Amino acid sequence: MSHEHGEQKHSSCSHHHGNGDASHESCGSCSHEQPLKQVKHIIAVASGKGGVGKSTFAVNLAISLAQSGAKVGLIDADLYGPSIPTMFGLLDEKPTVTGKNLVPLEKYGVKLMSIGFLIEPETAVIWRGPLVSSAIKQFINEVEWPELDYLIFDLPPGTGDIQLTIAQTVPLSGAVIVTTPQDVALADVAKAVAMFRKVDVPILGLVENMSYYELPDGSKDYIFGNHGGEKFAKVQGLTLLGTIPIDRAVREGGDNGQPCMLSNPDSATSKSIKAAAEEVARQVARLA
């Protein structure tokens, strides 16, 4: 299925574009161009729910793709709860400015932008919708993104202004949905799936995170329920991109700025994340 970057992506444009006018290059009356033309694939990592591992997966996905030789960027779109500065160990870093644009930071081979690099974390929590949307648009249009193979958006939980702004501003290749196996997470994930379908963003598939905890004797404890994500994927007709166990190294890697892909590359968990990242790349290529 090919994704149509039709006029619904440019609702702010008052000029009429025919269906399939993908680039708007021919339109002399518009002040805008298609944003992020220099990026081959734009991926949203999303979920209805918070705390399921979106940021953790987005970070490790970005690093994994970069390790495979791709040029990768990551936008922390969770303005109310940015995680990227912590997870990359960049809490005190500030981006530089050229002209009127911000230069993304870079670590572990990934170009990065986060509200956490720009303002005190307490400031954004009082922002209303319009300010939030314009901050996201700034991340898209006023950051010196170089040519990239993948640009990943780490989304906040829910189906609000931030998700819709991104879906309507950039031509998303697709969304990766992250969930835990438990019913309370899946109920919200169903809403996120419905939202992306409504705005014609393809869903690349589902990652089941915190699938189980491996006990010392090698048996598996399905702490959040047994195969809930897998079953949900089946019911919704979604590709299961991978399952990732609960692992102390994942949590520690997130907190100390050394993602587990790097600190424990050979662990079963890192391998499961790597496999899920490869599946994301396959699905993106399939839809391209």
Ligand X SMILES: Nc1ncnc2c1ncn2[C@@H]1O[C@H](COP(=O)(O)OP(=O)(O)O)[C@@H](O)[C@H]1O
From the list 74-82, 169-177, 222-230, 248-256, the region that binds Mg ion by CB under 5 A is 74-82
The entry of Mg ion, ligand X, none near residue 204 (CB within 5 to 8 angstroms by kind) is: none
Task: Annotate each residue in 42-61 with x if it binds Mg ion (CB under 5 A) or - if it does not, as one string.
Answer: ------------xx------
Residue 109's nearest CA partner among 154, 155, 60 is 60
Compute the least distance from the CB of residue 271 to ligand X, in Å: 13
Compute the 3-state secondary structure of the chain and give helix, strand, coil in percent, each to the nearest 5: 35, 20, 40
Residue 178's nearest CA partner among 71, 66, 280, 288 is 280
Residues contacting residue 18 through CB under 8 Å, at least 6 positions apart: 7
Structure token pair of residue 63: 């690093």
Task: Annotate each residue in 252-271 with x if it binds ligand X (CB under 6 A) or - if it does not, as one string.
Answer: --x-----------------
From the list 15-23, 44-52, 131-139, 160-168, the region that binds ligand X by CB under 6 A is 44-52
Q: Is 52 in the site for ligand X (CB under 6 A)?
A: yes
Q: Is 50 in the site for ligand X (CB under 6 A)?
A: yes
Structure token pair of residue 158: 């829910």
Q: How many residues does the chain have?
A: 288
Give the alpha-carbon dihedral of 131, 136, 140, 143, to 10 degrees. Answer: 70
If the CB atoms of residues 56 and 165 are measured against ligand X, the closer one turns out to be: 56
- Footprint on residues 193-212 left by ligand X (CB under 6 A): 209-210
From the list 5-13, 47-55, 114-122, 143-151, the region that binds ligand X by CB under 6 A is 47-55
